Amino acid sequence: MSTPRIAVYPGSFDPITRGHEDLVRRSLAFVDRVVIAVAGNSAKAPRVTVDERVALIRQAVAHPAVEVQSFEGLLVDFARRVGASVLVRGLRAVSDFEYEFQMALMNRNLAPQLETVFLVPAFDLTYLSSSLVREVARYGGDVASLVHPAVLEALKRKYRR
């Protein structure tokens, strides 16, 4: 039996959107398991706790080949612990590229055997980002088509006015 191919899909997921869900589905086309890695020490100072983000992702992506874990410290150390050979990141626009390229090269420097793979989201999800979803939700806009219903409820609770 061959060793299962495991991908880590890291991020802040503040909150998880339909765009993230799309990338998880796309990843399952070329790996056996996806571990969604929720950064506890994200530079973006997330608005909800890491445990809440993990719980929402588990509801949004209920799939036997997908697990959700939080991590602290370096992503490459987490990837090594879970036995991943691939890091998945999404690329939506040219503006993503520089940051993603830097991160991929630094991660390769730290863990040469770990390959970063960039995936392009579905066309109609390309404009989507967690920060835009948060902003629209904060001012009472409709984000129902952009997030899982559990995430929508959490946003409503959070930004109830």
Q: What amino acid positions are annotated as catalytic residues?
A: 20, 44, 92, 130
44 near ligand PNS, judged by CB under 6 A:
yes
Residues 112-151 that bind ligand PNS (CB under 6 A): none
DSSP letter string over 125-155?
A: GTT--HHHHHHHHHTT---TTTS-HHHHHHH
12 near ligand PNS, judged by CB under 6 A:
yes
Q: What token pair was written down for 95?
A: 């503006």
Q: What is the largest CA-CA distance in the chain?
A: 55
Q: CA gyration radius for the chain?
A: 15
CB atoms within 10 A of CB 97: 12
Minimum CB separation from ligand PNS for residue 129, in Å?
9
Minimum CB separation from ligand PNS for residue 70, in Å?
11
29 near ligand PNS, judged by CB under 6 A:
no
Residues near ligand PNS (CB under 6 A): 10-12, 39, 42-44, 74-75, 103, 106-107
